Amino acid sequence: MSYTVVLSPDATSKRDALPDPLPAFISAQLLRLSENPTALSRPATLLQPRGQLFEIKYDRAGVVVWISIIFRFGADEQTIHVEHIASEFG
């Protein structure tokens, strides 16, 4: 079962503010996360907002970017609510 992914306004603006092709890369990774969120994430106990942490690495053509995605499971147990997206260029 795949979860529906819903981005907060903050997460949407953070994703869309990144240079191409990062927004599309993040969207593709969110689809991958929706297929198995418990295996691909861990509790985000030290970060705010609290929830689950999904970390991915973009490494292409000499560009390295670490991306952290904080999400919560919806009460309906069918939705992932992405609260925050942060990126760090390496």
For the entire predicted model, the pTM comes to 0.91
pLDDT tens-digit map of 3-54: 999 999 999 999 999 999 999 999 999 999 999 999 999 998 776 667 999 9
Q: Does domain 4-89 have CATH number 3.40.50.1100?
A: no
Q: Are 54 and 37 in contact (CB under 8 A)?
A: yes
Domains of the chain, by residue range, sit at 4-89
Nearest to 84 by CA among 15, 11, 22: 11
Q: Are 70 and 40 in contact (CB under 8 A)?
A: no
Query: What does each C-alpha distance from 80 to 11, 55, 58, 60, 65 come to in angstroms?
Result: 13, 15, 22, 28, 23
Rounded Cα gap, residues 5 and 31, in angstroms: 8
pLDDT for the residue numbered 1: 76
